[in-house]
Structure 1
C-alpha cells in the first residue's frame, strides 16, 4: 500500500538495502543537493521557479507514518538526483509521469564497466515498486533533462549502452545548439524556396511541338481576312479577284467585301461605297455621222463656269485611245445635239451635255477622281455637296450607252428639275438605278474576307470594268496592309488560349500587318506589287481540349513592271506540312510526390549536416577535456 515512502524504499531495495532504509535515501538526496547547490539550483529553477527549495523540503520526512503528497518522490528531477547521488543508472517505467526514460549521472562518468542500474515502475498513478530485470534488456531512451544538463564527459554512459538504447533519440536532435538552430532555419528557408519552385513548375503548362502531314482534303477552304488601303485606286473600279491552279476564277467579289473612299491621308468619310452592278452595256449599232459634234468641250478654264451656270451638266470624261470611249462617242454627240435642240441653252439651258479629253486635261480629270474611261459624271447646280477639298460630290451614270437610252435618261433628269423630289415625276417613280454617287475621294479602303482552297493561288486587287478602259501609266497600286490573316474568326475562349500560347505561336499570323508598299515617282508607271506568301497551318490542342486552327505565313514582296494594267497580287502557297502544339499539364500526384521528396530530402540533408557539426563539436570538447580516445 502506498505510504508516501514507496519511491524511496524501492530505491533502497534496488541498491541492495532493506526497504526500511528509505530515510537514509531521503537524507542522501538532501545532502547531494546541499553539496552541489550551485549545480542543482539552476536546474531546478529552470524547471519551476522556487522548485529547488520546494523539492529539498519535500525530501525531509522522518516519521514512519504516511507522509503527505508534497513529500512523495517527484520525477523527473528525482531521477537525476538518484543517478548522481549513487553513480548509477535509473530506469523509470510510467504512463502517467511523462514518457518512460533512463537517467544517468550528470557530473560523473561510469566508475566501472558494469555500473548498477535500478528500475522503478510507477503504477496506479500513486505507487512506486522496484522491478528487477536480468540480461541485456532494451533500455528506455535517455531522459531529456539529462541530455540538456549533463557534462560532456558523461556521454560515456550513453555511448556504453548505445546498442541497448534502441529507442534512443539521437543527441544531435534533442540537444539545443546554435548550429542546430542555424541549420533548422536554413532547412525551413530551403523547403519554402523549393516548394515555391515546385508549385510554379506545377502551375506552369508545358507544351510539345510536332511537325506532321496536313491531312486536309482538297475541298477544304481557308478564310482570308484583310483590310488594305489604296490611296490612289478609286472604289468605283476596285475589284477583288481570286484564282487558283484548280481552275477557280472568281472575279469582282462583292458579297463579303466592303469599300470606303479615302483620301491620300487614308481618311474616310465613314460611308460605305456601293458599286452599281453593270451587266452588258448597250451601244448604238449604227450611228448617223451627219450629227457631227454636239457636246461642249470643257477644260480647266471653263469647267467650273459651265457647271455653275446650268442646272444640269452631264460630262463625258474620255480618252481618244480608249475603245469604249470610241464606241460611246457617236451616240454621245448625237444625244448632245438632241438635248441642245430640245433644251436650247439660250432659252432653256436646263441641261448641258459636255466632254473632257483626259489626255489633254489630266489635272482636271484627276481632280474629279477619273480613273476609267469613259466616265459619265452628272453635276447638279445647287444640289452638289462639297467634300473636304472643295470638290463637288457628284453622280456617275452606269447605264446603257446607246442614243435612245441616253436621251431618255437625260429627259427624265431634266423633267425632275424644279420638282420637290428628284425621284418622282407626276407621281411615278423615275428609274435612277443606273445613277449612283461618284466616289467622294480618289482612294479606297477594301476590307472583308474571301474563301480560298488550300492549293497554290492568287488574291488580286485591281481596277476592273467590263465597259471602261484604263491608262496603265496613270495607275498607282501603292497600298498599306492594315490586316491580312488566314483562318476562321477566333472566339474569346480561343483568344485566351492564343494569348497563353503566344510565345509558342510566334508573330507569323499577321506578318504584313501595318506594312506600307508605296511606289516612288520614278517607278510609278505600270508597277505591279507582288507579295509571295508561304502559309503554314498550326493546330493548338489546349487544356480545354478544343482544337484551335491558326495559320502563320512568311512574306516576300517585289515590284514588277507590268505590260498591262498594274495590280496588287498576293501569291498564296500552302505548305503540305503543319505544326501541332499540345499543352501538357503536370499531374497533381506528381506534384505531391515531389513535395514529399523535398520535405524528406531537406530533413535528411539537414540531419546529416547537424550530426556532422554536433559530433565534430563534441569531439573537440573531449579533446579539450583530455578525453580523446
Structure 2
C-alpha cells in the first residue's frame, strides 16, 4: 500500500501532465479561440443594440368617437400653406365646404396672405381692404378724350415716350369695366387739365378682346378685369408692375396719379407701392403671386378646402387663369411639438405631411382644376413609460391627385378630405434589463460550449487522421 508521500508525488505528477496537456498550443486551437472571441464580441454588441432599440407593436381599432360628447373636440384642425405663382393675393380666396356642399363650413379660420414677386420672393403681408367703392357715372365725358389707346404694336413706343404710363386693361363684356369706363375717361381728362402740355404721365387703355392687343394682355398675365397697371420708363422689361386696387372714383384715381407725378418731379421718393394717404391702406401693390397660409377648424366629416380667384369688383378670364401651385405644407390636427417629431416613427412622420413640397403646374391657356383627394387616419404612438412622455397623436394621410381640364370649369385648387373612423395604435417598448442580462449570460455560456464541442470534434478528427497515417491506412 502506497504511503502518503508516494500518493502526493503521484498527484503532483498527474497535475503537471494535465496542465501541460491543457496549455499545449496548436494552430487549430488558436484559430478556434480567435473566431470564438470575435463571435462573442459581435453577439454581445448586437445584443446591446437590440436592448437599446425600440420594439413596436401596431394595431388598428375603430374610433368610437367618444370625444364627441363635447362640442369642442368634435372639430378637426387643418393646417395649410400654398404658394400660387400666378394668382394675386387680391383675388386669392379660401373657402371650406362640407360633404353636403354647404360653403363657409369652417367653424373658425385664420388665414394670412403674402405678396410674392415673379421669382417667389416675399414682398409683404396682404391686408384685406374694405369693400371697394365704385362711382356710378354714366354721363359721357365732354370734349376730346385724353386717354391713349394702346395696342401690342405701339405699346413699347408709347412706353418710352412717357415717364409713367397708367394702363387700364379691360374687356367690353366685363360689367365692372363698363362701370369704370366713364370714370377712367373723366379721370384722364381732369388730370390732363391739371397738367397741360405735360405728357410725362398719361392714362391709357387696352382692349384685351382686340386682335391687336390680345398678345399684350397675355404677356402681362391679365386675367382679371379691369386691371390697372403702372409702367415706368426706367423699369426693366421683365419687372413686376405695380397694380392699382384703390377706390374707383375720379377724385381717388386723379389723386393717386398726382402722387405718381410727384415721383416724376422728384418731389416724392420713388416707390413701387403707394400709400398716398398714409393710412395703412395701400392703393397699389406689385405682387404677381401669393402665399396663402392658415388654419381652419372644421367638423369631423368629409369636406373640402377650395382655393380659387374671387373678387367683388372684377370679372375673370378663366381661359388664362393659372392656379399652378406648390403645397408647402398640409397637415391635420394640432401642430406637433419638436419632441413629438423626434420620437415619432419615420413612416408616420412622413404620412403627416404627404403633400409637403409637391408642385402642380397647369398648362398655359387651359383652365385646370386640381383635385387632391385625401384620406386622413388618426395615429396614436404610445412611448415607453420610462420616458415620461404622453402618447403622441398625429393625423397621417394618403393622397391621390387628379387634374381636370375643361373650359366650363373654374380654375381651382381643391383639397377633398375624408376622415376614416379608425385609429392606428402603435405601442413602443424596450427590452427589460433582466431579459438583457439573461441573454448576455446565454451568449457567453453558449459560445464557450459550442466552441468547445467544435474544438473537440476538430481535434478528434485530426488525431484520427494522424493515427491512420502513422499505420499506413491513408494509402
TM superposition shift of 1:375: 1.2
For normalisation by structure 1, the TM-score amounts to 0.60
TM superposition shift of 1:512: 3.1
State the match for 1:241 in structure 2: 95
Matched residue SS, 2:130: coil
Asked if 1 retains the 8 angstrom alpha-carbon contact of 2:110 and 2:295, the reply is no
Mapped to 2, the partners of 1:197 and 1:506 lie a distance apart of: 27
CA deviation profile, 1:494-524 (whole Å, cap 9, x unmatched): 44324xx32x437433433454433445xx4
State the match for 1:335 in structure 2: 187
TM superposition shift of 1:303: 3.0
TM superposition shift of 1:204: 2.2
Whether 1:573 aligns to 2:415 is no
Whether 1:228 aligns to 2:91 is no
Mapped to 1, the partners of 2:413 and 2:371 lie a distance apart of: 6
Matched residue SS, 2:342: helix
TM superposition shift of 1:548: 3.1
Question: Which shows bigger deviation, 467-476 or 508-517?
Answer: 508-517
State the match for 1:476 in structure 2: 322
Mapped to 2, the partners of 1:603 and 1:192 lie a distance apart of: 12
Asked if 2 retains the 8 angstrom alpha-carbon contact of 1:533 and 1:572, the reply is yes
* Structure index of larger Rg: 1
Asked if 2 retains the 8 angstrom alpha-carbon contact of 1:538 and 1:578, the reply is yes
In structure 2, stretches of 5+ residues that fail to align are: 271-275, 466-475
Asked if 1 retains the 8 angstrom alpha-carbon contact of 2:76 and 2:332, the reply is no
TM superposition shift of 1:472: 0.8
Q: How many residues are aligned here? A: 443
State the match for 2:249 in structure 1: 402
Matched residue SS, 1:326: helix
- Structure 1 pair 614–594 and aligned structure 2 pair: CA distance change class (3 A): same
Corresponding residue to 1:536 among 373, 377, 381: 377
Asked if 1 retains the 8 angstrom alpha-carbon contact of 2:59 and 2:424, the reply is yes
State the match for 1:460 in structure 2: 306
Mapped to 1, the partners of 2:173 and 2:351 lie a distance apart of: 46
TM superposition shift of 1:328: 1.4
Matched residue SS, 1:557: strand
State the match for 2:398 in structure 1: 554
Whether 1:275 aligns to 2:126 is yes
Q: How does 1:371-390 map to 2 (within 5 A)?
A: 371-379=223-231, 386-387=235-236, 389-390=237-238
Matched residue SS, 2:431: coil
In structure 1, stretches of 5+ residues that fail to align are: 1-10, 16-77, 83-89, 93-102, 105-142, 151-170, 424-428, 621-629
Mapped to 1, the partners of 2:323 and 2:228 lie a distance apart of: 23
CA deviation profile, 1:312-362 (whole Å, cap 9, x unmatched): 533211111111111212222233333344433xx2445433211112212
State the match for 1:72 in structure 2: none
State the match for 2:273 in structure 1: none
CA deviation profile, 1:577-615 (whole Å, cap 9, x unmatched): 122222211111111122223334455556777889999
Whether 1:365 aligns to 2:201 is no
Matched residue SS, 2:117: strand
Matched residue SS, 1:256: strand
Asked if 1 retains the 8 angstrom alpha-carbon contact of 2:263 and 2:269, the reply is yes
Asked if 2 retains the 8 angstrom alpha-carbon contact of 1:212 and 1:577, the reply is yes
Matched residue SS, 2:425: strand
Q: How does 1:191-340 map to 2 (within 5 A)?
A: 191-214=40-63, 215=65, 217=68, 218-230=73-85, 232-245=86-99, 248-249=104-105, 255-262=111-118, 267-268=119-120, 270-289=121-140, 291=142, 294=145, 295-340=147-192
